[in-house]
Chains A and B, each alone.
Chain A
């Protein structure tokens, strides 16, 4: 009574697998065997994966589902549907919902909502400080107990260095990972684009590179002092990445991620005030993009995430600085990452690793791998199915993406969560 995924090219970087192998999944939703059928295995259902890539379901370190509080933008239900249609089976959501995830009840509520749909795993990040106000510590142990996989102050970096020091110390004593957005609020000021050529040309207030590097330097000094394990979210500049590289070399317990869009776009893509390219941190220079790509290749950056931020259309129909930052990015996470394989930056297993077991290790969950006994979260994609991103293809409620009209080469055909088929692509569209 199991499921057989037959004839596919299995890529499971955590287990060093890269080759044609069948995948056997037992009736409880775990991987029963890889390559050879286990004794007595009977397939209730077989998925023909001939010519397809079979890999662990993707793990996205940062996706805003907008629930609770901003349901006019998106809901947990709408966004987990988009996630599984994009091969993503595990999502991490930041605590900057309304209300903030700073109580166990909030953390549990989000998980139980996600459970009800049974489509993808959602792991919340808890607040580092109460209400994300940067003043009082949140009940981190309770949040940890309630299933939070880390703590963070999200996009409201703690400005008081003493509070940050205490927060890191406290998190360290509970062995929690702190997720940091490195941004100096004074240097960011009212900025909305990289402070450079495009900002100068368009007359848009800029966010200097120093807004990131000053914050990284400060945070690293406190990490060194406190011994706290920290993850830097969404690095955007070459210099910041170099600082992380050095810190890693010194043995500091740090990791880092980058968004898929920062690996493909630069400030120049803003063109004539394209608000779809309004993101935070801002798109920076070509040199920064090169630096991020290099760091990805060298392992200084540990994961690629979507930083999914779905918006209602009006959020982007405003003058640039007044438009809301963020991209609806779940559905371009895999295609944009695979473009890096086409660009010869990464091998296919390297690309898959950056979306699976590597991010899973950062949040300390055992997703992102398909060894025997692992939960059968699986993504199957056709590596040779050209398609163009159009608005009507998007499953997410947010249609705010600068990638409309881009041509991609790979398309997700099946997604399994816990051995259950939760998404299957058919010619007409999609079905569960």
Chain B
């Protein structure tokens, strides 16, 4: 018999996680599959479950006047889509996660902590410079999401720690470019995704961010490449896109798996980056 705990407070949850080496479970959409059905082996949770999805801290959403967001890790994705003013990039990415039925239970915290290279929310959150608010036995800490995700399926969460919320700093209004390539048009896992955001004033690039998902062990974002665009005119960036592409070619290191080939992923990623840099920048 599996043990399960339903803590009422965050403190309680943290001490249970620590004492029992429990697995935090929120929406459960990934865990219910992952922990039950390893190929050929029986379904069993080897460690106790700690239900954290109803903790107030994980369900809180705050939107400051300055434009920053704090999003509880346990808020169902479909609830996020109903929020007014949610960063467009995040909304677009969430709409591509699973099916409506899955989004009604799956959470942003789950999508992050699962740390799949193909996680749809990560390119958006990384472009938004989001960070993770983590609670643990020793108190709270903040960590950029870039550093929080350490590899495929791996995060910087330490034993007994819990992702409480995701913080998104204010961002200027930017034009969004988002392309996800999936196995089919709906309820698909990502073969590849490219998310770009750009702010242009008087034909000059004021801000530019670009992330590529499912193309390397971690989401690819190259600050130097982005910086090199800022301050230049749209046509200059377009004219020089080959230089930029070669920077991305270095970092885009996809694998071949059952969903797609490395070659296709690389070709398509570069193609979409090219599309962003040459076609999407102009108004």
Q: Do A and B originate from a single complex?
A: no
Interface positions of A (Cβ within 8 A of B): none
Interface positions of B (Cβ within 8 A of A): none
